[in-house]
């Protein structure tokens, strides 16, 4: 590699220039993702943070500038009213709790469904494993939006499921499934299942078969072996999968919007309404920032739990 650089003149000059600036290969490699995060994560975050402390206005853009210059005077006006507003109106608090609860139970459901699937794949023969993993990832090949719309077709009163049940005579009136919390759970579990299965699979496939044999040899029947050996050893996978489902599910907007009813009070929908319907950008930004803060705590709890488990 370095031999190539030495021989090609432009490369050599570039390398010399970078070296003069104190940049080495290692720094450059790190710099690319750092720059990416800086531009696409930190800068937008700062914009949102700035918006959240601005005052709303009926204007374009719909907020007052933070910094005003009047000749030699410079005024910085920070408004924390937007955050206070979140506590005044019970709607926001309710939406937060509803979102966290829904995300939590969705993650638990995904875990309960995903674990046996991941376990089965991990215990399959190697040839079969790759086929099964493909099937898990297959839904990603179609648009997520399309798949959620498809569920509408299944769940609506004259949808596939109701028509089938009416036809068999199990029910004589269509079930109300669409625009219920049930449909939201269904949508979230369906969409996020691969995010649970994959980390669990990655963990379970590493599980040393000899440990299971050792347990059986020492008198452990299959069920005690599972609870005393397999489950505790798959804890890092469980936590990773749980985080991958729980965290994005809190801010989920599309699924509750398309499948949920008016009582599905998810924070993502509230945010959308503030931003697009009310055109109250500062309040919407405050909602987003508050959600971030509310999320950081459960994430940190899960992270420390994960680290503790991994250390063992």
Partner 1 sequence: MNTPVPVATSKPWITGAEPPFIRISKVTKRFGDFYAVDDVSLDIYKGELFCLLGGSGCGKSTLLRMLAGFETPTEGRIEIDGQDMAGKAPYERPTNMMFQSYALFPHMTVEKNVAYGLYRDGMKKAEAMEKVAEMLRLVQLTPFASRKPHQLSGGQRQRVALARSLVKRPKLLLLDEPLGALDKKLREETQFELIKIQESLGVTFIVVTHDQEEAMTLASRIGVMNAGQIVQVGEPPEIYEHPNSRFVADFIGSVNMFEGRVTEDEPDYIRLGVADLGGSIYVGHGVSCVLDQQLWYAVRPEKIRISRTRPDKTENVFRAVVDEIAYMGNISIHRLKLPTGRLLSATKANLTRHDDEAITWGDEVWVTWDDTAGAVLTR
Residues that bind partner 1 (CB under 8 A): 208, 210-211, 213-221, 224, 228-229, 232-233, 312
Pick 86 or 240: Cβ nearer partner 1: 240
Pick 217 or 263: Cβ nearer partner 1: 217
Pick 27 or 304: Cβ nearer partner 1: 304
CB of 56 to partner 1, least distance (A): 54
CB of 210 to partner 1, least distance (A): 4
CB of 205 to partner 1, least distance (A): 16
CB of 227 to partner 1, least distance (A): 11
User: Looking at the DSSP assignment, which residues form a beta bridge with residue 56?
Assistant: 63
DSSP string spanning 182-225?
HHHHHHHHHHHHHHHHHHHHHHHTTS-HHHHHHHHHTT--HHHH
Q: What six digits make up the tokens of 36? A: 């990416």
Pick 191 or 234: Cβ nearer partner 1: 234
Pick 216 or 302: Cβ nearer partner 1: 216
Helical spans, DSSP H, in the chain: 2-7, 9-20, 25-37, 43-52, 81-88, 90-123, 126-137, 144-155, 160-168, 181-204, 209-217, 222-225, 231-233, 235-250, 254-259, 267-272, 281-311
Coil, helix or strand at residue 174: coil
d(CA 234, CA 238): 6
d(CA 62, CA 146): 33
CB of 22 to partner 1, least distance (A): 40
CB of 129 to partner 1, least distance (A): 20
DSSP string spanning 258-305?
HH--TT---HHHHHHIIIIIS--HHHHHHHHHHHHHHHHHHHHHHHHH
Pick 88 or 213: Cβ nearer partner 1: 213
Pick 71 or 219: Cβ nearer partner 1: 219
CB of 270 to partner 1, least distance (A): 42
Q: Kindly give the pairing relationship between strand 73-76 and strand 67-70.
A: antiparallel
Phi, psi of 198 (to 5 degrees): -65, -50
């Amino acid at each position: 590699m370095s031999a190539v650089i030495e021989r090609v003149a432009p490369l050599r000059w570039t390398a010399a220039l970078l070296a003069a600036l104190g940049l080495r290969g290692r720094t450059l490699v790190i710099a690319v993702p750092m720059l990416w995060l800086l531009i696409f994560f930190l800068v937008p975050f700062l914009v949102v943070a700035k918006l959240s402390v601005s005052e709303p206005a009926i204007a374009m853009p719909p907020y007052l500038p933070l910094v005003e210059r009047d000749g030699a005077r410079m005024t910085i006006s920070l408004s924390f009213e937007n955050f206070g507003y979140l506590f005044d109106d019970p709607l926001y608090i309710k939406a937060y709790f509803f979102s966290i609860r829904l995300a939590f139970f969705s993650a638990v459901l995904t875990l309960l469904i995903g674990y046996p699937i991941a376990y089965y794949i991990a215990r399959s023969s190697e040839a079969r494993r790759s086929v099964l993993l493909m099937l898990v990832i297959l839904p990603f090949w179609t648009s997520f939006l399309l798949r959620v719309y498809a569920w509408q077709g299944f769940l609506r009163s004259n949808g596939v499921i109701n028509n089938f049940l009416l036809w068999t005579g199990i029910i004589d009136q269509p079930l109300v499934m669409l625009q219920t919390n049930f449909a939201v759970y269904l949508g979230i579990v369906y969409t996020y299942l691969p995010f649970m299965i994959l980390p669990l699979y990655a963990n379970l496939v590493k599980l040393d078969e000899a440990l299971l044999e050792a347990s059986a040899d020492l008198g452990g029947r299959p069920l005690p072996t599972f609870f005393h050996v397999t489950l505790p050893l798959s804890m890092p996978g469980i936590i990773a999968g749980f985080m991958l489902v729980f965290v994005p599910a809190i801010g989920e907007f599309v699924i509750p919007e398309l499948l949920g009813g008016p009582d599905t009070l998810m924070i993502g929908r509230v945010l959308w309404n503030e931003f697009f319907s009310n055109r109250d950008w500062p309040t919407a930004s405050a909602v987003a920032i508050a959600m971030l803060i509310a999320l950081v705590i459960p994430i940190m709890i899960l992270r420390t739990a994960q680290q503790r488990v991994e250390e063992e």
